Amino acid sequence: MEERKPAIIQSLQNGLDVLEMIAKERRPMKFTEIQQLTNMTKSNIHKYLTTLSLAGFLHRDSATNTYTLGNRLIEIGNMAQGDTSFIEIADSYMKAFAEETGLTALIALPSIDGPLVKEIWSVTYGIDIGAQHGTTLPLLSSTGYIFYAFQEGLQLNKWINQSSQTLSVHEQLAIMKEMEQVKEHLFAAKTEPLIEHISSCSVPVFNHQQELVAAITAVGYKNLIPQNHHHPNAQKMLALSKKLSNYST
């Protein structure tokens, strides 16, 4: 007996094909490019792009009229790649670091709107670090510097462009110079980026392909935060980064 082909919802398959094509291109794409590559009619591709954008699976940049993967799709992809298990693995290490140093520690993950605070470990209750679960951190934070330095493949163009609009040419040149040090030492420190008297430092976590998957950040009163990678607590963070990188796929 001939095996019956499984029934599929063709419109759903078409939508998935659009997502997969944009994901493979790994760059912002214009409507005409997507339409040409999918061989769909303009009317149909418009419907798919609108539906996927409203659902959060695609993001449309109104300034450039281009499409990239949306925040919702990235969140689902992160979960599929094991972010939950990653945080569970990191939990004991991050708790130990916070208790040993007396600093608040957090992990930020990529989102289309920038570094997203996923979890916070604190032994200093009552201190306002200027962030909480779900906060998107700015470029001028130490976490932001890590994401900016190792942004390849993270689709952070919108976040970077919006952040850069408020900066002078001199400030942008200064940041680019600082990025060289961040890349060399895998360490960033910022003084009072969000709250007065509260500073932070951050290190990256990479997967086996050397792609950034998270940033580890220590937050506390500015006299307690390492300002360079030689500091003992900075060295502890770099060692922790290597441990967690071993668990990142």
Per-residue pLDDT of the chain (249 residues; tens, 9 = 90+): 555 667 778 888 888 888 888 888 888 889 999 998 888 888 999 999 999 888 888 888 888 888 988 877 766 665 555 555 778 889 999 999 999 999 999 999 988 888 999 999 987 655 667 778 888 899 999 999 999 999 887 778 888 888 888 888 998 899 999 999 999 999 999 988 667 788 999 999 998 888 899 999 999 998 999 999 999 999 999 999 999 887 765
Report which of 84, 53, 50 is spatially closest to residue 69, judged by C-alpha positions.
Answer: 53
- Do the domain assignments include residue 144? yes
Do 141 and 211 belong to one domain?
Answer: yes
Task: Tell me how far the alpha carbon of residue 76 is from its chain's centroid.
Answer: 13
Q: Range of 49's domain? A: 10-69
Q: What angle do CA 209, 80, 90 make, to 5 degrees?
A: 70
Look up the CATH number of the domain holding residue 45: 1.10.10.10
In a domain, 5, yes or no: no
Cβ neighbours, 10 Å, residue 12: 9
144: domain CATH number?
A: 3.30.450.40
pTM value is 0.67
Say which residue the tokens 């430092």 belong to.
201
Backbone angles phi, psi at 174, to 5 degrees: -65, -40
